[in-house]
A = this chain, B = another copy of it.
Amino acid sequence: MSEKITIYDIAKKLNITAATVSRALNNNPKIKESTRELVIKTAASMNYKQNKLALALKSGRSNNIGVIVPRIDSNFFASVIRGIEEELHPHGYQVIICQTHESPKRENENLYTLIDAQVDGIMMSVTDVTDENDGAFHYVLEKNVPLIFFDRSKHIDGVSSVTVNDFKGGYVATKHLINEGCREIAHFSGDQSLEIFKNRFLGYKQALLDNGLTFKEEYVIRTKSSVEAGKEAIDVLLALDTPPDALFSASDFAALGAIQELKERNISIPNEFCVAGFSNEPFTKFMELSITSVDQSPLEMGKMSARVFLEQVDKTDTIKIEKKVVLAPELHIRKSSSRTNF
């Protein structure tokens, strides 16, 4: 075990006080240049390392920020985290990861844990939006810890968010399907208590109406974000009297499930049926029958969240800044919906 060197050890060696050492190391202008140099040289030679915990205790700032996501092993969330990490690392922040597994209970626990661990900020994608009376968020706000929502947001006064324009995403995807000649367009939605799914749905609906198509309730199916769920949902749709000729799915995984099932039934894609997904998961691009999907630029979302955090930290004295950043979605048109180009 290497001995821990503290500023007291340096002070003793140089016959000065720890205060002087501290000031010298922190470039306090009141320190004589010669002293500063001596201290810095001695510190280096003794292999001194600042104890971050002591600093954190004194300053109340841990230089850690917490990130809460439903799960980390999804390309979207992992990419957002990557963005956050890359933006914050140069500023000396470490990123602490928490997963909720879509459980509001875990979400609360994580919030409390992070605050208790004295993180300097929290960035998160909420899991459930229903418990408005929930104490954990107020606990965060009371502590004046910057809180930033990304992707899945919640309306709380004074809280910033970075989201993608889901309405537009749903709109352009649906419009694209219409342009390809589809007239009976179905939609796989997620839990509409989450804004993102609500908005993707609304974008879809608006695109239909704006283009003279009728919106049919029975074409909208709520599915989980999984291949299996997509298969089951498309079965339901194909059993309708007028089955659809296209699908806009709010999940790439469900879109994939639908595609697999359609192939099983020898329905030709994109000739007889067009499909568009959402999220631009890596596999959508890799498939032989590549899948059209709406990109949410997760890396950018992460970086932007980090920037919003940096703006807010250190400004706790001023009026709380509420910044709503909305990124533009980008439709990646691929084979699953291209009757013309490929």
Contact = CB atoms under 8 A, between A and B. Distances in A.
Interface in A105-144: 113-118, 142-144
A98 B50 CA distance: 20
Given A85-B99, A97-B97, A73 B79 contact: yes
Contacts of A283: 282-283, 286-287
A142 B2 contact: yes
A178 to B, nearest CB: 27
Interface string A46-74: 00011111101100101110000001111
B75 A118 contact: no
A82 B100 CA distance: 11
Contacts of A30: none
Interface residues of A, number: 50
A117 B52 CA distance: 6
Contacts of A60: 53
B288 A288 contact: yes
Contacts of A143: 1-2
Contacts of A94: 96-98, 113-114, 117
Given A79-B73, A142-B1, A52 B116 contact: yes
Interface string A21-52: 00000000000000000000000000001111
Contacts of A63: 117
A229 to B, nearest CB: 15
A213 interface: no
A186 B307 CA distance: 47
Contact of A85 (B51, B56, B79, B97): B97
A78 interface: yes
A62 B94 CA distance: 13
Interface of A: 1-2, 49-54, 56-57, 60, 62-64, 71-75, 78-79, 81-82, 85-86, 89, 94-99, 113-118, 142-144, 227, 256, 263, 282-283, 286-289
